[in-house]
Structures are given as C-alpha cells and as structure tokens.
Amino acid sequence: MKSTTRSVKKQKHIALVAHDHCKSELLRWVKENKEMLAQHILYATGTTGNIISKETGLVITSLMSGPMGGDQQLGSLICEKKIDMLVFFWDPLSAVPHDPDVKALLRIAAVWNIPVAINRASARFMISSPMMSEDVDTEIPDYEAYLAERLH
C-alpha cells in the first residue's frame, strides 16, 4: 500500500486503556506523569477514564467500557486520525471476554502506525521522548490512493 505523511501536532491525542488487573498500575503511571499528560488531550475507555479522572483531576474524554465497545470506539478514532498514541496496559496472563476487540484495537494501531505502549517500561520510554513536545511527521497508509485504485 502507498503511504502518505501525517503531521502529529505538539499537543498529542493520547488514548489510555487498562485491563482490570492493570488499572492500578496505569493509574500510578499517570500520577507519575500527570504534569506531562496535562499538556495533551486524553481519551480512555470507560472505567479506566473515570478512575483516572477521579484520582488525578485530569480532563479525560471517557468512551464506553472496553467490553461494551470502548476498544472499538478507540479503533474508530485511530482510523479517523484522531488518536496519536495508545497507552494500553494489558494483562497478558488473563483472558478477557473481549479479546477479539483488544486484538482489533492493537491491529488498527499498527495499521495506522501510531506509537503503542503496552506496559510501564514502554510507556516511560514513550512519554520521555523529545517527540512528546514537538510536531512530528509520521507515515501512514494513503487510504485515498488505496480507495482510488480499488474503484478505478
């Protein structure tokens, strides 16, 4: 597939997601990075977003809970180029009923070439990157060219 460039602005749109056994770990990471995160626009799946907002006072757009469609809502926002980064603390040792939605969310993040942190270590690397505070150009699929080829 052909690619094009997308400009990701200095103020990033960051999605926060955590499985039940990882919510406290994500909350701890958010508290440690509250000052940096407050400079960006935050989204989260339902329960996670409400917990983080209540505990930190950060403004978060909370979507539906993951099992109720929140993962799919985030995937849609990624496709619409409205999410720049995904921080998803997932529990690799516990299966969840909505595992197919989780896999779909991670697949869409890969398709649209957005950075994904899956644990504290990768989230720490991502948030401490100099790119967090600057405009960044990134390559994404050229969907318009793809569609034009298919319809021609």
Task: Report yes or no: 22 and 47 within 8 Å, Cβ to Cβ.
Answer: no
DSSP summary character for residue 9: P
Angle between helices 70-79 and 99-111 (to 10 degrees): 10
Q: Could you tell me the residue range of the domain that residue 85 belongs to? A: 3-151
- Those residues with Cβ within 8 angstroms of residue 128's Cβ, 6 or more apart along the chain or in another chain: none
99 is annotated as an active-site residue: no
> Cα 28 vs. chain centroid, distance in angstroms?
17
Burial category of 46 from C-beta neighbours within 10 Å (exposed 0-12, middle 13-18, buried 19 and up): middle
Over residues 43-66, the mean pLDDT reads: 95
Ligand-binding annotation for 61, yes or no, is no
Q: For residue 152, is pLDDT > 80?
A: no
Give the DSSP H or E segment for 48.
Answer: helix 46-56
Of 137, 145, 99, the closest CA to residue 9 belongs to: 137
pTM: 0.93
- Quick: pLDDT tens for 90-123: 888 887 777 888 899 999 999 999 999 999 999 9
- Is 69 annotated in a binding site? The answer is no
Rounded to whole angstroms, how far apart are CA atoms 86 and 132? Answer: 13
First and final C-alpha spacing in the chain: 16
Higher-scoring residue by pLDDT: 96, 127:
127
Number of domains in the chain: 1
Question: Is the alpha carbon torsion for 59, 65, 66, 72 positive or negative?
Answer: negative
13 marked ligand binding residue:
no
Task: Check whether 19 is labelled as a binding-site residue.
Answer: yes
Residue of 71, 84, 99, 101 marked catalytic: 71
Tell me if 5 is assigned to a ligand binding site.
no
The CATH code of the domain that includes 66 is: 3.40.50.1380
